[in-house]
Copies of this chain bind each other. A is one copy, B any other.
Amino acid sequence: MIVLTFSCPDRKGIVASVSKILFEGGANIIESNQYSTNSSTKAHFFMRIVFEPESLKGLNDINQKLNGFSSIFNAEFKLTDTSVKKKAAVFVSKEDHCLYELLWQKSSSDLFLDIVCIVSNHNILLPVAESYRLPFIYAPYRDNAIEQEELIKKEFERLKLQIDFVILAKYMRVLSKNFINSFCQNIINIHHSFLPSFPGAKPYVQAYQKGVKLVGATAHFVNEKLDDGPIIEQDIIRINHGDDINEIKRKGKIVEKLVLAKAVKLFTEDRIIEHDNKTIIFE
């Protein structure tokens, strides 16, 4: 199957044109979703189509015609083969719950991706990498984040890793602008609060002190501003006055791992389109 994601300034006839291109290329449309930001002045159009191509030639024709169409309609599009696994580097610090959830969902085929290495600023989770026979890149703390990241990048090169996206699975170190851009912003982070509540450090302590009745977790793309990238998925869990900080953390971990895994699933299935620091998600 092929997934087409597509976006452009909205105008009449887009669906008809794209459908015609697909039909003429012999594509059998399995699933299709579209959405337009309805604001009259500068509406923007988004589409996700899953189709079965008839032949490689047909697919090439489609690609070519979409290219032509896109330059006219000022569109961005992407064709992705769903049978190819995306390759992820998973960054962790000391906590293992998100990492284990990703590994388990991968091994049970609930997540369709390759995990090509585990990166950490601590060596605590080395045994996990070993038991799953995954390269473990240990890049201990440096005052200068750039130095630390250079070390990571060198290891990527040395190991000849091809990386499509990065998952920050409770990686407790802010990445540099430079590093973020080198992954074209394909970096998914899990923040342990219901953003924009409690950004920054120790959100559960903040939540406890504030006396909120729900805590949450937020998976988002990473941009240069801390905890401010486009939100992909959020969820919450109920807490009460009797929950101390440890219990809040325990409950929170369950939400964190599920929210992160959900966001990764959406990403691997090309269901997310970023626009204006927000996400359009075709579920």
Contacts and interface: CB of A to CB of B under 8 A. Distances in A.
Interface of A: 12-17, 19-20, 22-23, 26, 28-36, 38, 96-97, 100, 104, 108, 110, 131, 194-198, 210-214, 216, 230-236, 240-242, 244, 250, 253-254, 258, 277-281
A189 to B, nearest CB: 15
Nearest to A30: B36
Nearest to A247: B110
Tell me the number of copies of this protein.
4
16 contacts: A16-B20, A16-B29, A19-B19, A20-B20, A31-B36, A32-B32, A33-B34, A35-B242, A38-B244, A96-B108, A97-B108, A110-B250, A131-B131, A196-B210, A210-B278, A214-B235
A28 B16 contact: no
B216 A214 contact: yes
A108 to B, nearest CB: 6
A186 to B, nearest CB: 18
Contacts of A240: 281
Contacts of A279: 211, 241
A234 B253 contact: no
A212 B241 contact: no
A108 B30 CA distance: 39
A23 B29 contact: no
A48 to B, nearest CB: 11
A278 B241 contact: yes
B280 A241 contact: yes
A19 B15 contact: yes
A268 B232 CA distance: 30
A104 B131 CA distance: 14
A34 B36 contact: no
A129 to B, nearest CB: 14
A211 B234 contact: no
Given A16-B20, A19-B16, A104-B97, A241 B31 contact: no
